[in-house]
Chain A
C-alpha cells in the first residue's frame, strides 16, 4: 500500500517537473519600469496595459511585470533589466532620463512641450500629443465651426468608436475611474511594447526601440494605425471636446491638409 503511494507520489512529482520544465523553456518574462507619482492616472493606464499584455501573454507564454519608482530614485536605480521606461515626470527629469538611458525606449506619457519633439531625442517616445498637435486640431475645427470653444484631447471616456467603448469599459471596471488622456498614453505605451514583444519575441531594449521607431503599426483603439515620427511623436487622431462631449475627430474631414494624421503637429527635427 505504502509502496504504491510512494510510486504514485513520485509519478506525480515527475509529471509536475516535466510540465514546469517545458513551460520554463518557453516563457518570456519582461518588465517595465514606471517613473512618476504613484497616484498619477498615467500609472493606472500602464497597469491596464500590463493586465492586457498578460492576457495576451498566456497564449504565447509571455509574462509582463511593472515596477513603480519615484523620480527621486532615478540616480540609484538599476534600469538594465527593464525593456522600457514609462514616465510621468517633469521635462528636466525626462531629458535627464532619456540621456542616461540612450538605448532604452523612454516613453513620455504626460508632457506636451513642442521642443521635446523637435529636439528629436533618439530614444524618446512621446505618446501624449504635443501642444502643437492639439492647436492644429482646434484650428482645423474652427475653420468649420468658428464659434466653438472645443478643447483637444488624446482620449475621452465617452469615446465609443473603433472599440474605444470596450477600452473605456475595461478600464473603468478595473480602476473605478474614467480613462483620461494620461491613462490612455500609459495604456498605449505598454500595449505597443507588448505587441512588439508578442510579434518578435525581442527582449533586448535596443531591438525593441528600433522596432517601435521603424516598424510599428499600432492599434490604439482610435481607428487609425499609429506609428512614430522622426521626432519621436506618435501620430494619432485628436478628439475635440466641447461641453464634455466629443464634437469631432481631427484630422477634420474636408479641412485637414494634408488629409492625414500629418496635418497635426511638427513633422521634422529642429536643425
Chain B
C-alpha cells in the first residue's frame, strides 16, 4: 500500500507546485516604490504593488511560492504572494539591503552595502542566521545551483568573495577589475562569471581554485557592465551594458563579443526564463523592461514600467 502511495504523493506534490507558479515577471521600481507585475502571456503590466521606499533586490523562494523584495530605505525584506499579490509579512534585513540570492535551502543571502557584510536570513522566521564580514560596498550575490557556494562581490574592495555554504566561511577572495557588480554560476557550480563595472570587464573564474580563467572586455567605454546571466546551454553570457544601452552577448568560452542588443537607457538588471527562451531587462533611465528573444537575440517587446526599474525575476 505504502509503495503505491509514495509515487502518487510525489506526483501530486509536483503538480501542486507547478500549478502555483504564475509565470509572472516581477520588477522593482526604485524611484516609484513599486513592483510591476507583468503577465507572461500578454507581456503587459497586469498589476502594480505599492511595496515601500526604494525597492531594489528581488527574488523567489525555491518553490516559487513566495516573492521577496529588498526595500532598501526601510531596511526590510517584504514577502509577497505571487498569486494574490498581497504583502504577507516583512522582516528586518540589516542596514540598506540591496541585492540578494535565495539558497536552495530557502535562506536568503543578502549584501548590506553600508556594513561591509553579507547577512543570511531565514525568510520563514525573519531571523538572521549568520553574518559574514566581506569587503567594502558588497553588491552582487550569487549562489551555485547545488547550494555549496555563494559569491558576494565587494565593489570598493574589488573582490569576489567565495563563501562555502551552509558553513558560511570565506574560502577564497578573488581580486578582479574595478567595481565588481554581479556574478552567476554554471549549473555544475565550478565556474562563475562576474562583471566589473568601472574596468568594463567580464571575468570568468574557477570557483574551486579561486583563480581567474579569462577576462573579456564589454567593448566601448560607455559600457559599464552590471548584471550577467548565462544561456540555458551555457554557451553564451548576456551582460547588461549600463549606459551603453545594450545587452552585450558574449561567447561563454572565449569571452568574445558576439553581438550588442540595443535596449532602453541604462540597462541594469537581467532575468532569463527557465526554458532559456526569453531575457527580461530593466532599463533604468527609460523606465522600461525589454523582452529579448534569445534565438534571434533581438528585442521583441518593450514594456513601460515604473521609474528606475532595478531588479527583475520570473516566477517560472
Interface of A with B (CB < 8 Å)?
52, 55-56, 59-60, 163, 166-167, 169-170, 195, 198-199, 217-219, 221, 224-225
Contacts and interface: CB of A to CB of B under 8 A. Distances in A.
B175 A60 contact: yes
Interface residues of B, number: 20
A221 B116 CA distance: 16
Given A59-B157, A218-B178, A225-B178, A52 B136 contact: yes
Given A55-B136, A59-B173, A169-B114, A219 B179 contact: yes
A26 B125 CA distance: 42
B198 A219 contact: yes
B179 A56 contact: no
Interface string B88-117: 000000000000000000000000011010
B182 to A, nearest CB: 15
A81 B60 CA distance: 53
B173 A225 contact: no
A195 to B, nearest CB: 7
Nearest to A169: B114
Contacts of B170: 59
B173 A60 contact: yes
Interface string B33-54: 0000000000000000000000
Contacts of A219: 156, 158, 178-179, 198
B65 interface: no
A217 B159 CA distance: 15
Chain B, interface SS category? loop
B114 A55 contact: no
B173, B178, B199 — most chain A CB neighbours (10 Å): B178
B309 interface: no
Nearest to A53: B157
B135 A55 contact: yes
Nearest to A56: B157
A224 B198 CA distance: 7
A199 B175 contact: yes
A198 B158 contact: yes
Given A59-B173, A60-B175, A219-B198, A195 B158 contact: yes
A184 B156 CA distance: 15
Contacts of A199: 175
A68 B175 CA distance: 30
A166 B135 contact: no
B158 A59 contact: no
Nearest to B113: A166
Contacts of B136: 52, 55-56, 166, 170
A220 to B, nearest CB: 9
Contacts of B177: 217
Nearest to A52: B136
Contacts of B135: 55-56, 59
B198 A217 contact: yes
Interface in B131-188: 135-137, 155-159, 161, 170, 173, 175, 177-179
A166 B156 contact: yes
A56, A60, A167, A195 — most chain B CB neighbours (10 Å): A56
A56 B170 CA distance: 14
Contacts of B173: 59-60
